[in-house]
Chains A and B, each alone.
Chain A
Amino acid sequence: MENVVAMPASKPAFGNGERANKLKSTRFGSKLVNDYWSGVFAAKEQGKKVVWYNGTYIPPFFHAHDLVWVHGEAWSAMLAARHREIGAQARGEQRGYDRELCSYARTHIGQMLIEMDKAKSGEGGASLDDPRIEAMMKLPPPDMIVNAYPYCSSGQQWDDITYRVFGKKVPMFTIQIPLLWGGRQDAGYLRGEEWQQRSRYVADQLVELTRFLEANTGRKFNFDRLSETMSYIKKAAELRLEGMALCTARPSPASFFDWIVSIAPMSFLPGDQNIVDYFQGVKDEIEQRVASGEGAVKDEKYRLFFDGMMNWNKVGWLADKFAQVNACVVAGRYTHMSFWQEPQLIDLGDPVLGMAQNYLVCPNNHGAPIMIGEIEKLCDTFELDGVVCHASRTCRGMTNAQFLIADSAKKYGRQAMFFEGDVADESFYKDELLNVRLEAMVEAMDARRRAA
Chain B
Amino acid sequence: MEHVLTQMKQAAQAPMDYAAQWKARTGRQVIGLLPMHFPGELAHAAGCLPVILQDDEEPITIGQSNVFNFYCGFNRSIVDQTMRGRFDGLDAIMFGDHCVQLLGTADTIRAERPDLPILFNQLCTTLDAGWALRETTGTFTQLWKELEALTGAEIAPQAVTASIALFNRNRAQMRRLYDMRRKGLVAISGRDMQAVVKSSMAMDKKEHVALMDELLAAIPRRGPAAGGVPVYLSGHLCHAPKPALIDMIEESGARVVNDDLFVGWRFIHADMDEAMPPVDAMAHWYVEKNRRLPCPTRTTKGVDWEDYLLAEVERSGAQGLVVLMVKFCEPHMYFYPEIKEAFEEHGIPHLLIETEHEEMPVEALKTRVETFVEIAKRRATSKAA
| Residues of A bordering B, CB below 8 Å | 95-98, 100-102, 105, 151-154, 156-158, 160-161, 164, 168, 172, 174, 176, 178-179, 181, 183, 201, 204-205, 208, 367-369, 391, 393-394, 396-397, 399-404, 407
Chain B contacts for A151, CB-based, 8 A: 100, 103
User: In the assembly, what is the distance between CA of A208 and CA of B331, in Å?
Assistant: 27
Looking across the interface, which residue of chain B has its beta carbon closest to that of A395? B100
Chain A: minimal CB distance from B370 (Å):
23
Chain B contacts for A174, CB-based, 8 A: 125-126, 129, 299
Chain A: minimal CB distance from B355 (Å):
13
Looking across the interface, which residue of chain A has its beta carbon closest to that of B123? A178
User: In the assembly, what is the distance between CA of A407 and CA of B334, in Å?
Assistant: 32
User: In the assembly, what is the distance between CA of A208 and CA of B66, in Å?
Assistant: 40
Chain A contacts for B338, CB-based, 8 A: 161, 164
User: B103, A400: Cβ atoms under 8 Å?
Assistant: yes
Other A-B pairs, 15, CB within 8 Å; known A95-B337, A399-B68, A403-B65: A95-B341, A96-B341, A100-B328, A153-B100, A154-B100, A157-B297, A160-B299, A176-B126, A179-B120, A183-B119, A368-B111, A396-B71, A400-B107, A401-B104, A407-B111
Looking across the interface, which residue of chain A has its beta carbon closest to that of B104? A400
User: In the assembly, what is the distance between CA of A368 and CA of B103, in Å?
Assistant: 10
Chain B: minimal CB distance from A303 (Å):
26
Chain B contacts for A100, CB-based, 8 A: 70, 327-328, 333
User: B107, A153: Cβ atoms under 8 Å?
Assistant: no
User: In the assembly, what is the distance between CA of A219 and CA of B256, in Å?
Assistant: 55
Looking across the interface, which residue of chain A has its beta carbon closest to that of B107? A368
| Contact A154 B330, CB 8 Å, known A367-B107, A401-B107 | yes
Which of A158, A168, A179, A403 is close to B122, meaning CB atoms less than 8 Å apart? Answer: A179
3 smallest beta-carbon distances between A and B, as pairs: A400-B104, A96-B337, A368-B107
User: B330, A102: Cβ atoms under 8 Å?
Assistant: yes
Chain A: minimal CB distance from B336 (Å):
6
Looking across the interface, which residue of chain B has its beta carbon closest to that of A401? B107
Q: Is B151 an interface residue (CB 8 A)?
A: no
User: In the assembly, what is the distance between CA of A407 and CA of B108, in Å?
Assistant: 12
User: In the assembly, what is the distance between CA of A110 and CA of B101, in Å?
Assistant: 24
Contact indicator per residue, chain B 248-290, by CB within 8 Å of chain A (1) or not (0): 0000000000000000000000000000000000000000000
User: B120, A181: Cβ atoms under 8 Å?
Assistant: yes
User: A396, B100: Cβ atoms under 8 Å?
Assistant: yes
Chain B: minimal CB distance from A184 (Å):
9
Contact indicator per residue, chain B 233-260, by CB within 8 Å of chain A (1) or not (0): 0000000000000000000000000000
Looking across the interface, which residue of chain B has its beta carbon closest to that of A193? B142
In the assembled complex, 17 residue pairs joining A and B whose CB atoms fall closer than 8 Å, in A order, are A101-B334, A102-B330, A161-B338, A164-B338, A176-B124, A176-B135, A181-B106, A181-B118, A201-B131, A367-B110, A368-B110, A393-B70, A396-B70, A400-B100, A400-B104, A404-B107, A404-B111
| Contact A152 B100, CB 8 Å, known A101-B334, A401-B107 | yes
Q: Is B98 an interface residue (CB 8 A)?
A: yes
User: In the assembly, what is the distance between CA of A158 and CA of B330, in Å?
Assistant: 10
User: B122, A153: Cβ atoms under 8 Å?
Assistant: no
Chain A contacts for B336, CB-based, 8 A: 96, 98
Chain B contacts for A96, CB-based, 8 A: 336-337, 340-341
Chain B contacts for A154, CB-based, 8 A: 100, 330, 334
User: B122, A181: Cβ atoms under 8 Å?
Assistant: yes
Q: Is B296 an interface residue (CB 8 A)?
A: yes
User: A179, B337: Cβ atoms under 8 Å?
Assistant: no
Q: Is B130 an interface residue (CB 8 A)?
A: yes
| Residues of B bordering A, CB below 8 Å | 65-68, 70-71, 98-101, 103-104, 106-108, 110-111, 117-120, 122, 124-126, 129-131, 135, 296-297, 299, 301, 327-328, 330-331, 333-338, 340-341
User: In the assembly, what is the distance between CA of A98 and CA of B326, in Å?
Assistant: 12
Chain B contacts for A178, CB-based, 8 A: 122
User: B296, A394: Cβ atoms under 8 Å?
Assistant: no
User: In the assembly, what is the distance between CA of A397 and CA of B338, in Å?
Assistant: 24
Which of B101, B126, B135, B334 is close to A396, meaning CB atoms less than 8 Å apart? Answer: B101
User: In the assembly, what is the distance between CA of A407 and CA of B111, in Å?
Assistant: 11
Looking across the interface, which residue of chain A has its beta carbon closest to that of B128? A174
Chain B: minimal CB distance from A249 (Å):
34
User: B100, A208: Cβ atoms under 8 Å?
Assistant: no
User: In the assembly, what is the distance between CA of A319 and CA of B189, in Å?
Assistant: 58
Chain A: minimal CB distance from B352 (Å):
8
User: A394, B70: Cβ atoms under 8 Å?
Assistant: yes
Chain B: minimal CB distance from A397 (Å):
5
Which of A101, A176, A397, A402 is close to B100, meaning CB atoms less than 8 Å apart? Answer: A397
Looking across the interface, which residue of chain A has its beta carbon closest to that of B101? A396
Chain A contacts for B70, CB-based, 8 A: 100, 393-394, 396
User: In the assembly, what is the distance between CA of A146 and CA of B368, in Å?
Assistant: 41
Chain B contacts for A205, CB-based, 8 A: 131
Chain A contacts for B337, CB-based, 8 A: 95-97
Chain B contacts for A97, CB-based, 8 A: 333-334, 337
Chain A: minimal CB distance from B118 (Å):
6
Looking across the interface, which residue of chain A has its beta carbon closest to that of B337? A96
User: B334, A161: Cβ atoms under 8 Å?
Assistant: yes
Chain B contacts for A153, CB-based, 8 A: 98-100, 125, 297, 330-331
User: B330, A396: Cβ atoms under 8 Å?
Assistant: yes
Chain B contacts for A396, CB-based, 8 A: 70-71, 100-101, 104, 330
Chain B contacts for A158, CB-based, 8 A: 334
User: In the assembly, what is the distance between CA of A89 and CA of B129, in Å?
Assistant: 32
Chain B: minimal CB distance from A95 (Å):
5
Chain A: minimal CB distance from B327 (Å):
7
User: In the assembly, what is the distance between CA of A291 and CA of B66, in Å?
Assistant: 44
User: In the assembly, what is the distance between CA of A98 and CA of B341, in Å?
Assistant: 15
Residue among A101, A161, A400 with max Cβ neighbours from chain B (10 Å): A400
Which of B68, B297, B331 is close to A391, meaning CB atoms less than 8 Å apart? Answer: B68
